[in-house]
Amino acid sequence: MLLVYLTLGLIIGVISPVFFDGIERKLKAYLQSRIGPPITQTLYDLLKLINKEVKPIHTTPFIVLYLLSFISSTLASILMVEIYVYTGESLYITLGLSLLAISLTSLTIAPLLVPNPFSYAGGMREVVLALINESAFIVSVTMYISLINNLLQTEALSIPLVLSVITITITMFVSGYALTGRAPFDIAEAEPELASGILVEFSGKLLAAYLYCNLLKRFLITLITAGVITAPLIKHSVFSLATTFVLTVLLWIVFAVISVTLGRSRVDLAPKTLAKTYILFISLSITGLLVHAYG
Amino acid sequence: MLMDRNHIIQEYISLAKSLNGNVTIDNDTLHIIIPKESLVEIADKLFNKYQCDFRTCIGVDERPVNGYFSMTYVFTDNRNSLYLLIKTYIDSLNPSTPSIMKVVPAVDWCEMEARDLLGIEFTDREQYKLVLPPGWPDNVYPLRKEVPYNYRPLLRGTSEKISPSTELGVIPIGPYHPALHEPEYFELYVEGERVIDVKYRGFHVHRGIEKLAETRMTYQQVNFLAERICGICGFEHSTCYALAVEKAAKLDVPERAQYIRSIILEVERIHSHLLWLGVAFHVVGYDAGFMHMWRIREKIMYLAELLTGSRKTYGINLIGGVRKDINEDKKQKTLETLRELEKEFRELIEIAINVPQVKKRLSGTGLLPKEDAVKFSVEGPVARASGVNKDARRDQPYAAYKYTSFKVPVYTEGDNMARALVRINEIFESISIIEQLLDKIPRGPIMLEDFDIPEGKIGVQVVEAPRGGDVHFVITGHGKPYRWRVRAPTYNNIPALKIMLKDQPLADAPLTIASIDPCFSCTDRILVIRENGKREWLRITTGV
């Protein structure tokens, strides 16, 4: 039965990001007083791009390899997160996070292989953001699981521990949001500034693949965030899997709404602000934990 | 230099006479004819001592009339509402004159344009090709009277490289770029993400409209051509042209027509500023601000259609008046729409301008110090954001502005935020101006009945467009202008971009370019020229 659920979950993971993006576009349009495209528009866009010719660059084979590496590691990561949610075994989330690190590295490197100043500038921006956000996300997710389990097992309510959980949850949300590349952290693409930056030389099937990879990345990060929230609360059931997917949709919508209210930051501003935020909140969380343990 | 108007006029006359010049006063215009040996000195005195504003210069082929070429330099004394036209005659066999660039840096482009189009050489400066495309034949100067308007040289396609594009740290912006809506080319030299130098190449699509007007159009037809100079502030151009001709011909245009012109000019200013604010928000990635700003802009488009019959390119200006009247019903609807617009705009702009990323990216970026703003004679919100207090509506009052009361917003910060704030304040002022004009609009005709336009008269007019002063210079001819010179404000604002972009983050370069609200050419060639010189035509089905 587990196999059936997991296969179903994987299929949802492969297909749903395309429609989630459609929902996001529709929602943004509503908030901006526009009608917007139908929620199937992203699918149409990708299908149309697949049928267009690729204008090849000499590094195309390497880029394709990196994208394949991203897709395979991301799908494996999705599977691991689902198993974690279903079983509650921490080993699987550890594997999921390791695979996430591999997949994000693959996706970050791909634009750096493009011989174009816009792509290079965009790629370097992505590297800077990834260095800060990836580590913050992985650390905060790991800490959150540990802290929330601790909190759930504590009989008397510990204020320092609650504060510790709250601060690390904020870190997890912020770093997760930043990793999805939405405003104000969409500096790698930055359409009006860098002529679409990392996307500038991609065309046809290659562009479709890259865009799809980005959607898959968003899905995985949102799924991990939703999964680690759900798993400790609803263990060992199909219901926990279903709740995780529902929470993933809700988080995706929340992220979409946040992105509408913000503008784009700059590469010299965003990493500094994020680094300061992460250091502050992770320090607060550790302090809370220490006070709880030794106070 | 603030002093009594008559006193300052006497000073200008004395100055001109001391340099062997000849002065004629025509209402608000001083025509000073000066020997070319004294040109640099008088320009220096006017620009640096009397702090006159340099607007543009005009080369004219006067050989059919008197056997000479001429150069006319347009200065304005903004504090005393005076135009100063410094004219020098140039020998037609050896068309050469000293450049005034050392004392008036802003003259750079217009001198080179006169060189390209009339073949006048300028000494004491570096000369280069500005307007004509590479490969244009030598000794063919399109604005000389013997060159027909439909002259088409057989151009061999050549590629032009400003610097090798493979050079590390070079970011090309344009000629086609998402942040540019018209073809211009900026080459940014970067260290990391900081711009250390900028090169600019423009004039990809020079349209030759001056030649067209001077050869095959009538006075009234040129109004419609002038309106098509720009897709956003076209009405400013047609008003400026009409006012220049009316000034040359000394026409007394009905007051009601002047009121209607001012109303429509302000409608266009609101439209343009709302459009710019939307674009600025888009450039900084705040698309919600962009979309809502353009939603509000729709109200002003509705208003334009109500008052003129067209959402854009209104076509109501004629020499002698306007073609559309404003009745009581339109007046009420206009006031109602303006009230709604003001309310919505006030609510939106307070949110949008305070979005953290918008605030952070507009503040302290694209700096233009006041001394550079003066040096380049920049125009409009760019000048006013750098502490230069000038606005032609107040300084050279035209149409019905003298009947209104309004503030000219001036900021001293000189950054992108200051330019945005100038435009935001101007929207509120424009709403107030329209309300005042509608309240005071007199009854009467909207068009002058019979009039003649005598030949050989000169008219020059500055109209404060949303981007700054438009300048139109007209020498009247037989049934059509003998010479018509147009200078859009962007012409003076672009050279200042070099200062504004230097030592700034690369990410803000498109925002800074957009901050001057550039208005490049609106048409384009669909010819692609490969590096080997081979031409390819754009095909609808297959592209190039």
Q: What is the DSSP string of B234-260?
A: HHHHHHHHHHHHHHHHT----HHHHHH
B19 touches chain A (CB under 8 A): no
In a domain, B175, yes or no: no
Label the pairing between strands B121-123 and B96-98: parallel
Q: What CATH number does residue B292 fall under?
A: 1.10.645.10
Give the rounded distance of the alpha carbon of B540 from its chain centre.
Answer: 34
Q: Are strands B321-322 and B317-318 parallel, antiparallel or unpaired?
A: antiparallel
The DSSP H or E segment spanning A250 is helix A238-260
- Radius of gyration of chain B measured on its C-alpha atoms: 23
Nearest-Cα residue of chain B relative to residue A31: B288
How would you label B242-253 residue by residue, b for 16+ Cβ within 10 Å and e otherwise? Answer: bbbbbbbbebeb
Provide the domain limits for residue B92: 5-123
pLDDT band at B192 (very low <50, low <70, confident <90, very high): confident
Q: What counts of helices (H) and strands (E) characterise chain B?
A: 18, 17
pLDDT at B189: 84
Shortest distance, CA A117 to any CA of chain B (angstroms): 6
Q: How confident is the model over A237-249, as pLDDT tens digits?
A: 788 889 999 999 9
In the structure, what pLDDT confidence band is assigned to residue B188 with cuts at 50, 70 and 90?
A: confident
- The residue in chain B having the minimum alpha-carbon distance to the alpha carbon of residue A35 is B291
Distance from CA of A16 to the nearest CA of B (A): 25
User: Could you tell me the two tokens for A5?
Assistant: 């659920």
Residue B537 confidence (pLDDT): 43
CB pairs under 8 A between A and B: 83
Rounded average pLDDT over A37-49:
95
pLDDT tens for each residue of B54-101: 999 999 999 999 999 999 999 999 999 999 999 999 999 999 999 999
Q: What are the tokens at B328? A: 């009581």
Q: How far is the C-alpha of B473 from the C-alpha of A159, rounded, in Å? A: 77
Q: Which chain B residues have a beta carbon less than 8 Å from that of A267?
A: 193, 505, 507
Nearest Cα to A234, choosing from A218, A249, A245? A245
Pairing of strands B527-529, B481-487: unpaired
Pair B151, B208: CB distance under 8 Å: no
Q: Is the pLDDT of residue A111 over 70?
A: yes
Per CB-CB distance under 8 Å, the chain B contacts of A188 are none
Q: How many domains does chain B have?
A: 2
Instruction: In whole angstroms, give the CA distance from residue B428 to residue B433.
Output: 9
**B237-274 pLDDT, tens digit each:** 999 999 999 999 999 999 999 999 999 999 999 999 99
Using 50, 70 and 90 to split pLDDT, how confident is the model at B520?
low
When mean pLDDT is compared across B2-11, B166-175, B273-282, the lowest value belongs to: B166-175
Euclidean distance between CA atoms B255 and B246, whole angstroms: 13
Same domain, B213 and B116: no
For the cut 80, the answer to whether the pLDDT of residue B460 exceeds it is yes
Q: Are B143 and B117 in contact (CB under 8 A)?
A: yes
pLDDT at B543 over 60: no
Distance from C-alpha of B383 to C-alpha of A129, rounded to nearest angstrom: 37
Is residue B205 within 8 Å of residue B525, measured between CB atoms? yes
| Interchain CB distance below 8 Å, B357 and A264 | yes
CA distance A144 to A285: 10
Contact B214, B483 (CB under 8 A): yes
| Number of domains making up chain A | 1
Name beta bridge partners: B191: B194
Contact A272, A185 (CB under 8 A): no
A295 CB contacts (<8 Å, ≥6 apart)?
Answer: A160
> Amino acid identity of B101?
M
The rounded distance, in Å, linking the Cα atoms of B378 and B369 is 11
Contact call for residues B392 and B462 (beta carbons, < 8 A): yes
Q: Tokens 């006075």 sit at which residue?
A: B219
Listed range (B183-192, B259-268, B377-386, B500-509) with the worst mean pLDDT: B183-192
In a domain, B367, yes or no: yes
**Does any CB of chain A come closer than 8 Å to the CB of residue B544?**
no
* Residue A233 distance to chain B (closest CA, Å): 36
Residue to test with chain A: of B195, B296, B360, B508, most A Cβ within 10 A: B360
Are B232 and B112 part of one and the same domain? no
Residue B420, pLDDT > 50, answer: yes
Q: Kindly report the CATH number assigned to the domain that includes residue B10.
A: 3.30.460.80
Chain-chain contact of B178 with A192 (C-beta, under 8 angstroms): yes
> Could you tell me if B509 lies within 8 Å of chain A, comparing CB atoms?
yes
Facing residue for B170 by CB, picked from A117, A261, A266: A117
Mean pLDDT score of chain B: 89
Name which of A101-105, B400-404, B434-438 the model is least confident about. A101-105
Say whether A267 and B358 touch across the interface (CB within 8 A).
no
Domain that residue A108 falls in: 2-294
Residues of A in contact with B358 (CB under 8 A): 263
Name the pLDDT band for B539 (thresholds 50, 70, 90).
Answer: very low
Tell which B residues from 276 to 315 touch A, by Cβ distance under 8 Å: 281-289, 291-292, 295
Give dist(CA B76, CA B85) in Å, integer.
8
User: Quick check: is B185 in a domain?
Assistant: no
CA dist B188 → A117, B108, B163, B185, B416 (Å)? 11, 21, 11, 10, 19
What tokens does A193 get? 């500034």
Whether the upstream peptide bond of residue B445 has omega within 30° of 0, thus cis, is no
Average pLDDT over residues A130-141: 93
Among the partner-chain residues B281, B289, B357, the one whose CB lies closest to the CB of A184 is B357
Do B78 and B390 meet the contact criterion of CB atoms below 8 Å apart? yes
| Cross-strand pairs, B82 | B77
Contact check, Cβ <8 Å, B193/A121? yes
Select the residue from A116, A193, A201 to test the B interface by mutation, using most B Cβ atoms within 10 A. Answer: A193
User: Which chain B residues contact residue A197 at CB under 8 A?
Assistant: none
Q: Do B286 and A263 touch (CB under 8 A)?
A: yes
What is the predicted pLDDT for the residue at A74? 94
Residue B420's alpha-carbon distances to B386, B387, B410, B515, in angstroms, are: 12, 14, 11, 8
Q: Which of B123, B158, B180 is the last residue of a domain?
A: B123
pLDDT at residue B2 greater than cutoff 60 = no
Domain-embedded: residue B163: no
pLDDT band at B143 (very low <50, low <70, confident <90, very high): very high
Percent of chain B at pLDDT > 90 equals 74
The whole-angstrom separation of Cα B91 and Cα B179 is 45
Three-state secondary-structure class, residue A231: helix
Pick the range with the lowest mean pLDDT from A50-54, B302-306, B364-368.
A50-54
